[in-house]
């Protein structure tokens, strides 16, 4: 009798395991979710029907260069089987006819970043692929002339936390009454002796200043913010004796 019970117990465990495996390993299916205002459509592969959600942050003030509400797309902590397609409607009603780009907010750096993986660009729709979900918005693309940032980079590098082995500095511009947007082509990456080193944890530092730079050929006061991400060793042992943090060649 005990042996029969044991066999049934093993059988039940096997069945339960197979059920769990089927739920986890089943083929992902195409899902589509629309925002409540109909402006954004999210399309992608998912194993659960409720995997995607879009929330319209209509309380946030639209600020340059953004021209739409901010749309929070979740979940943000799930690795999807394929890139997610975000399709934005261009319309006069929504005030997005002049939208030229989709922006994603990098919360760790505190700045918006333009997405370039465009899959559709018509009079009615602007669609991009994204592998990381979060906050998205439509925007215009002002031509901001990049200033020389060597002094700011030197100043930040001198403030590196103890144990830093590698770093990356990005710069954001903020137009009057605007939001911070990553300034493309202006960055620095380096480490001990100019070699980028990995760490066990990250810390961030920033510095801001106001400059007059051409924006669409018009001199404009722009706030520039340099943000450094430091890779710090767990033992707080940074560069070896005789080495300094330097930018990569």
Structure-block tokens of residue 24: 């986890």
Does residue 142 sit in helix, strand or coil?
coil
Q: Check residue 249 and give its pLDDT.
A: 79
pLDDT the model gives residue 107: 92
Residue whose tokens read 């459509």? 41
CA 72 to CA 238: how far, in whole Å? 38
Q: Which two tokens stand for residue 91?
A: 């319309």
Q: What is the pLDDT of residue 118?
A: 97
Distance of CA 150 to the CA centre of its chain: 25
**pLDDT attached to residue 23:** 41
Q: Partners of 114 in the beta sheet?
A: 103
Q: What is the pLDDT of residue 4?
A: 43
Q: Computed from CA positions of residues 94, 138, 86, 70, in that sequence, does the dihedral angle turn out positive or negative?
A: negative
What is the spatial distance between Cα 172 and Cα 170, in angstroms, rounded to a whole number? 7
Beta-ladder partners of 43: 32, 85
Q: Which of 132, 129, 106, 133 is nearest to 117 (CA)?
A: 129
Helix (H) / strand (E) element for 151: namely helix 150-157
> What does the pLDDT read at residue 74?
87
Handedness of CA 6, 12, 15, 17 (dihedral sign): negative
Structure tokens at 116: 């370039």
Contact at 8 Å (CB) between 89 and 39? yes
The residue count for the chain: 249
pLDDT at 13: 41
Nearest residue to 88 (alpha-carbon basis) of 109, 49, 115: 115
CB atoms within 10 A of CB 201: 11
d(CA 182, CA 171): 6
What tens-digit pLDDT sequence spans the chain (249 residues)?
A: 444 444 434 444 443 444 443 344 446 677 889 999 889 999 987 655 557 889 998 766 679 999 999 999 988 766 666 789 999 999 888 888 999 999 999 999 999 999 999 999 999 999 999 988 899 999 999 999 988 888 899 999 999 999 999 999 999 999 999 999 999 999 999 999 999 998 899 999 999 999 999 999 999 999 999 999 999 998 878 898 889 999 997
CA distances to 57, 79, 123, 170 from 131, rounded to whole Å, are 21, 8, 25, 21
Residue 5 tokens, joined: 């019970």
pTM: 0.83
Q: What is the pLDDT of residue 203?
A: 95
Domains and CATH numbers, the chain: 29-139 (2.60.220.30), 150-247 (no CATH)
């Amino acid at each position: 009798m005990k042996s029969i019970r044991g066999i049934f117990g093993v059988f039940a465990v096997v069945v339960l395991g197979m059920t769990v495996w089927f739920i986890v390993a089943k083929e992902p299916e195409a899902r589509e979710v629309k925002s409540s205002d109909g402006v954004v459509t999210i399309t992608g592969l998912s194993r659960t029907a409720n995997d995607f959600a879009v929330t319209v942050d209509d309380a946030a003030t639209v600020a340059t260069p953004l021209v739409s509400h901010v749309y929070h797309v979740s979940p943000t902590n799930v690795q999807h089987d394929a890139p997610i397609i975000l399709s934005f409607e261009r319309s006069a009603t929504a005030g997005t006819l002049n939208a030229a780009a989709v922006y994603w907010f990098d919360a760790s750096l505190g700045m918006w970043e333009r997405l370039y993986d465009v899959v559709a660009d018509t009079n009615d729709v602007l669609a991009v692929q994204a592998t990381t979900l979060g906050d998205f918005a439509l925007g215009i693309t002002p031509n901001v002339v990049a200033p020389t940032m060597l002094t700011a980079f030197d100043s930040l590098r001198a403030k590196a936390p103890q144990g830093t082995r590698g770093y990356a500095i990005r710069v954001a511009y903020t137009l009057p009454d605007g939001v911070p947007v990553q300034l493309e082509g202006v960055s620095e990456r380096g480490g001990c002796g100019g070699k980028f080193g990995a760490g066990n944890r990250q810390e961030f530092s920033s510095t801001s200043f106001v400059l007059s730079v051409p924006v669409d050929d018009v001199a404009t006061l722009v706030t520039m913010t340099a943000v450094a991400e430091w890779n710090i060793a767990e033992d707080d042992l940074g560069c070896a004796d005789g080495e300094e943090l330097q930018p990569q060649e």
